[in-house]
Amino acid sequence: MTSPGLEPFDGVLEPEGDYELLSFTGDDLVEGHMQDARLLDCVVEGADLEGLRLDRAHVVDTRFAACRAGTLHAPDTHLRDVTVSDCRLGAVQAHGAVLTRVTITGGKLDYLNLRGARLESVRLVGVSIGDLDLATARVAQLVLEDCRVHRLDVQGASLTEVDLRGAELARIDGPAGLKGARISEQQLLELAPVLAAHLGLTVG
């Protein structure tokens, strides 16, 4: 079903292409080559994103809903005013990406690679994440609410106004990178062994 005001996509995906006011569904984007492309005011709903290449693409004012993929390639991609809801994604390779005013709600991400990325005003709500890799990333105004994260990697990260109180964190790599984050008292108790080991403390 096409979203109001949008035309259903009916063409060939090309690197450096311009895609505006389009609706993508089904297998429109499978194995698509959209490197350096521009997506503006689009809706991607119920689509298979398997093998999609979004390297260095600019995605603006676009919504992704109920999409799925084993592997999604989006290194150095710029996302601005983007919403992602109820998607089931395996490995998302978005190292070096720039995310501004991005909201992710529901769904499951097995591995979200944001190494070296820049995040500003990003919100994750009700998301289950296997590995959240923020190593060497620069992150400002990130909020995790009602999220489960099996492993959070913040080695070498720079965090400003990052709120992790709403996240269930099973494991943290690079605890020194947590500087600038806000956690709850309960999380502090749970992280005590990790922090003690990082500081070389002997307890007891």
- Distances in Å between the alpha carbon of 181 and those of 64, 99, 141? 28, 18, 10
What letter does residue 178 receive in the DSSP assignment? G
131: domain CATH number is 2.160.20.80
Domain that holds residue 115: 7-199
Structurally, the chain folds into a number of domains equal to 1
CA diameter of the chain:
67
Please indicate, yes or no, if residue 148 is contained in any of the structural domains.
yes
- In the numeric block, the tokens 């601005």 are attached to 80
Q: Is the residue at 204 inside a domain?
A: no
Looking at residue 152, its amino acid is L
pTM of the model: 0.91
pLDDT tens, per residue, the chain with 204 residues: 456 689 999 999 999 999 999 999 999 999 999 999 999 999 999 999 999 999 999 999 999 999 999 999 999 999 999 999 999 999 999 999 999 999 999 999 999 999 999 999 999 999 999 999 999 999 999 999 999 999 999 999 999 999 999 999 989 999 889 999 999 988 888 877 777 776 676 767
- Specify if 99 maps to a domain: yes
